[in-house]
Chain A
Amino acid sequence: AQKITQTQPGMFVQEKEAVTLDCTYDTSDPSYGLFWYKQPSSGEMIFLIYQGSYDQQNATEGRYSLNFQKARKSANLVISASQLGDSAMYFCAMRLSGGYQKVTFGIGTKLQVIP
């Protein structure tokens, strides 16, 4: 079984500053993928970034980067140069390989960007 833990129910960040959203995971499977999704107040689930368990380098997508520390089982999301439109819920998620289908989500972190 896999588990995702997000310990920050809410975070504030000043506009244009960087922010790190924490995520730890637990699995005994050696092959997995880690994802971050953004959920604005409108409700849709937007894919942000992906990190494979065998990837040597941390994933980056524009202002998003994933700080992947495999030994610590952490996959923190870093948002640089925060914008007001970044205010949303952020979910860390994991999917195992080997034919498993489901994505397991964390409880989420609510990020508010302050002007």
Chain B
Amino acid sequence: EPEVTQTPSHQVTQMGQEVILRCVPISNHLYFYWYRQILGQKVEFLVSFYNNEISEKSEIFDDQFSVERPDGSNFTLKIRSTKLEDSAMYFCASSAGQGTDTQYFGPGTRLTVL
């Protein structure tokens, strides 16, 4: 069964450093998403991406964040200058369509900012 994959599974970085989190969505999906989950808290939407542009973003997704689909398979989230409060689990998700189509999540990348 096709699945969303994410690398790395765990990333440790120093405050102020740039990180890039990578995702490979399900191959025939057209809509891509990033969510984050701070330890012990609910999952929060960051951004959605369709047709090579951001279609929706939350207030969390400020200028420190950017997303890109550099090729036909990868979808990346970049955090330019990490802060301690960026420590969280980051989930990539994809869906075939919008509306109420199911979003399938990857296994997550645990980001630890020291």
Q: Point out residues on A near B: beta carbons under 8 Å.
A: 31-33, 35, 37, 42-47, 50, 52-53, 91, 93, 95-108
15 other contacts beyond A97-B99, A100-B56, with CB at 8 A cut-off? A33-B99, A33-B102, A35-B103, A37-B105, A44-B108, A45-B91, A45-B105, A93-B43, A101-B48, A101-B56, A102-B56, A103-B45, A103-B93, A103-B103, A105-B44
Chain B interface, number of residues (Cβ within 8 angstroms): 28
Contact B45 A104 (CB under 8 A): yes
The answer to whether B98 and A99 have CB atoms under 8 Å apart is: yes
Inter-chain residue pair count (beta carbon < 8 A): 76
Interface status of B55 (Cβ within 8 A of chain A): yes
Q: B75 at interface (Cβ–Cβ under 8 A)?
A: no
B100 near A32: Cβ-Cβ < 8 Å: yes
